[in-house]
Amino acid sequence: MTTKNTRYRLGVDVGGTHTDLVLLDMANGELLVEKVPTTPKNPAQGVHNGIAKFIARGYRAQDIEFFAHGTTITTNALLEMRGAQVGLLITKGYRAVQEVQNQARDGSLFDYFYKKPSPIAPQSLTKEIPERADYSGQVLLSLDKEAVRQAARELKAAGVQSVAVCYLFSFMNPAHEEQTRELIQEEFPGVSVSLSSEVLPRIREWSRMSTTLLNAYLEPVLVRYISHLNKGLDEAGVVTSQRFLMQSNGGVMPFSAAIAGGKSVHTLLSGPAAGAQASAYLAEEAAKSGLVTLDMGGTSADIAFIEGGVPLEVTEGIIARRQVDVPALDMTTISAGGGSIAWVDAAGFLGIGPESAGADPGPACYGRGGKRPTVTDADLVCGFLNPGYFLGGAQALSVDAAWEAIATHVAGPLNISVLEAAAGIRRIVDMRMADEVRVFAARRGVDLSSFTLLPFGGAGAVHAAAVAEELGMRRILVPARPGAFSALGLLCTDVVHDYIRSDLKPLALVTPEHIDGIYRELEAKARGELSEEGMNAADARFSRELDLRYSGQGYELRTPLDGLFDKRLTDESLLAVRARFDERHAQIHGHSAANRPVEVVSYRLRVRVAVPKYQQREEVVSPRSGAIAEKGKRLLYLNGDAAIEATVFERDGLNIDDKIAGPAIIEQFDATTILPPGWRARVDGYRNLMLECT
């Protein structure tokens, strides 16, 4: 099967229910897909199980030259509060910053019983250190080294596993934090140390502290996971050193960068980001006019918007009620996955989630001990899924088990039929996803009528048409391998690192030489880190942005410098930057203030190193007969007891330009696409299914 010169690239996405693996043959562009159950107790084991399946099929592990991985390990650790025990060192006199936080609150502003989330580092593990620098970085009080040593000894005795250091104005002068790390490591060898001057060197004390605390909380979890994963890859015979981890910003970083420290917080959206990146890269033409991505997996649904061919991005966000101010793709997640559990409350109302059956035991129809009904059970009862063809027939589904779970926990309590209950479960989850898209679009000023819905994940294409109808969207693009689309996205991106430095000054008083000097320092740091990671710094491409605001504003806008200078900035460049900022402010907020002074808040640098990516190839009409695609008929229950007969097709048997009219069911190894009445589908040259509402 393999030849001596065959080389493969492997993308792996760990989801809540299944771990997806995509193996790309670099010689002929062929894609091979494997799906294995996720192993919640040790997600690395599921990855190893998937690789073992490829090896059993005759593919040699030593021929894998590139490994990229998307994971929810840090996200789950934060959601479930399973991170490390953290100690905090802060400037003397600022002990209460973590308790005070800021004035923002999640949820209702009128909730009199509102409680802030519990501190990552409790007051008992928060140590004040005499030291002080002013707003310009000038040292006012030297670091008390003995106080640091004493704090390190106390934290060690308390069983702390990770230490966060967040001194006042350290983003202007990191010397005290760097000295503190050296002292901690002398007193407490092996402990993880996160410095705010490295994790987030920018203004705003609470956001910098919160992000640093989260990095400290998650770093031991991520490093331990990567250690297990590395060991398993070595034992499987995967010898390549090109091992990468997906970041929230849509790029990857080498394992070595994550192990080196300070980067763990950049992986909180590692899994969902890969799917959004794949959408922008593989659906390039549709992405130019706008895409809404719907990644519906086993435990959740992730939603993102792509405009002008690129995913929307944010630099500030809230994850699990925690402030995280690092660059990330603009995404939202709701508990609406195939494994989301349906339940009836005391008032007799039907609810879905947030609890999920996950991979163990999974939905009732999996036959692994699950007894409570899920969205997947409802899909099966309504005829949307083929019980004998789940994962291409590798896993049989029990209609009886699904029927019994829905009857016991939903239909019985509501005194309705099982089919009505199953249709109700589907209706609620479809409405929830549509509502989330609608709110997301409204907040960002997106007109959905011109957008295309791109569903993926194991359940995305099953529910896409219903969601689109609810939103008034008339176009859907189902990719060739929707169930493994996020894993494929890991083979469609570059190595990306982001850097930031705050230096608050009026734009009118900043010289081009000063700005160039800051960027040269950031670029030198980036090149050094790339070299340490084994990357060729000569291949790096840099893009610059300034965070600007009108004087007196409490927020700033990212303003790109691309196209405004050649090799160095000039006075004309700064005038153009100001004009671009006014334009962006008017575009986003509806107004600008051209006569008001502008301030430079922060300097941002993004470095990108290109790596070989999957190249999809447009095909022509195949000589095969389209007749082999039709598999038979199946009843669909769209609305309770009313059944319609749908034609069932095998997707791999479809030809380029084949057209199908609903009602129809299109099955494949990793997903099922539902085509309700009034919808039609066409296979394009990239084997995408292009759905339109007639």
Looking at the structure, tell me whether residues 547 and 561 fall in a common domain: yes
Residue-wise pLDDT tens digits, 89-148: 999 999 888 888 887 777 667 778 888 888 999 999 999 999 999 999 999 999 999 999
Identify the domain boundary among 211, 232, 267: 267
SS (H, E, C) 328-358: EECEEEECCCCCEEEEECCCCCEEEEEEECC
Residue whose pair of structure tokens reads 């809404």 in the numeric block: 292
Residue 473 lies in a domain: no
Which residue from 72, 44, 602 is spatially nearest to 331, judged by alpha carbons?
72
- Whether 470 and 431 have beta carbons less than 8 Å apart is answered as yes
Domain count, the chain: 4
Residue 298 lies in a domain: no
Looking at the structure, tell me whether residues 162 and 121 fall in a common domain: yes
Q: Encoding tokens for residue 381?
A: 């009862």
CB within 8 Å of 611: residues ≥ 6 apart? 66, 242, 244, 252, 493, 494, 495
Helix or strand holding residue 689 (H, E): strand 689-693
Beta strands, E only, 240-349:
243-246, 252-254, 291-296, 301-307, 310-311, 313-314, 317-319, 322-324, 328-329, 331-334, 340-344
pTM for the full predicted model: 0.86
Looking at the structure, tell me whether residues 599 and 499 fall in a common domain: yes
CA distances from residue 215 to 16, 26, 182, 235, 435 in whole angstroms, order as listed: 22, 36, 18, 29, 32
CA distances from residue 609 to 13, 263, 531 in whole angstroms, order as listed: 22, 17, 12
Looking at the structure, tell me whether residues 74 and 85 fall in a common domain: no
Give the largest CA-CA distance in the chain.
81
Q: Is 318 helix (H, G, I), strand (E, B) or coil?
A: strand
Looking at the structure, tell me whether residues 130 and 212 fall in a common domain: yes
Q: What is the predicted pLDDT for the residue at 5?
A: 56
- Measured CA to CA, the distance from residue 459 to residue 413 in angstroms comes to 27
Looking at the structure, tell me whether residues 540 and 594 fall in a common domain: yes
Which residue from 277, 278, 276 is spatially nearest to 292, judged by alpha carbons?
276
Count CA within 13 A, CB hemisphere, residue 518.
Answer: 23
**CATH assignment at residue 195:** 3.40.50
Q: What is the DSSP letter of 369?
A: S
Residue whose pair of structure tokens reads 């599921």 in the numeric block: 46
The DSSP line for 401-461 is HHHHHHIIIIIHHHTS-HHHHHHHHHHHHHHHHHHHHHHHHHHTT--GGG-EEEEESTTHH
* 131 burial type by CB count under 10 A (0-12 exposed, 13-18 middle, 19+ buried): buried
Looking at the structure, tell me whether residues 636 and 657 fall in a common domain: yes
Domain of 72? 8-78+223-267
Residue 319 lies in a domain: no
First-to-final CA distance of the chain? 45
- Measured CA to CA, the distance from residue 224 to residue 258 in angstroms comes to 11
- ∠ CA(12), CA(16), CA(21), 5° rounding? 20
Q: What is the DSSP letter of 374?
A: B
Q: What is the predicted pLDDT for the residue at 445?
A: 75
Looking at the structure, tell me whether residues 257 and 238 fall in a common domain: yes
Looking at the structure, tell me whether residues 98 and 170 fall in a common domain: yes
- Measured CA to CA, the distance from residue 56 to residue 465 in angstroms comes to 37
- Whether 268 and 74 have beta carbons less than 8 Å apart is answered as yes
- Whether 398 and 367 have beta carbons less than 8 Å apart is answered as yes
- Measured CA to CA, the distance from residue 599 to residue 547 in angstroms comes to 9
Q: Encoding tokens for residue 688?
A: 């995408």
Classify the C-alpha dihedral 514-515-520-526 as positive or negative. Answer: positive
Looking at the structure, tell me whether residues 137 and 179 fall in a common domain: yes
The single-letter code of the amino acid at 104 is A
- Measured CA to CA, the distance from residue 591 to residue 587 in angstroms comes to 7
Q: Is 225 helix (H, G, I), strand (E, B) or coil?
A: helix
**CATH assignment at residue 41:** 3.30.420.40
Q: Encoding tokens for residue 399?
A: 């209609």
Residue 580 lies in a domain: yes
- Measured CA to CA, the distance from residue 97 to residue 93 in angstroms comes to 9
With a cut of 50, which residues of the chain have pLDDT below it?
1-4, 626
- Measured CA to CA, the distance from residue 173 to residue 630 in angstroms comes to 68
Q: Encoding tokens for residue 378?
A: 């409802």
- Measured CA to CA, the distance from residue 346 to residue 361 in angstroms comes to 26
Residue 228 lies in a domain: yes
Residue 280 lies in a domain: no
**Residues shown for the chain:** 694
Q: What is the predicted pLDDT for the residue at 623?
A: 60
Looking at the structure, tell me whether residues 164 and 191 fall in a common domain: yes
CA distances from residue 364 to 369, 397, 407, 531 in whole angstroms, order as listed: 7, 9, 12, 50
Identify the domain boundary among 609, 640, 672: 609
CB within 8 Å of 228: residues ≥ 6 apart? 42, 44
Looking at the structure, tell me whether residues 66 and 173 fall in a common domain: no
Classify the C-alpha dihedral 608-610-613-617 as positive or negative. Answer: positive
Which residue from 18, 71, 27 is spatially nearest to 49, judged by alpha carbons?
18
Residue 527 lies in a domain: yes
Residue 420 lies in a domain: no
Helix 418-443 × helix 399-406 angle, to 10°: 80
The DSSP line for 458-486 is TTHHHHHHHHHHHHT--EEEE-SSGGGHH
Q: What is the predicted pLDDT for the residue at 394?
A: 73
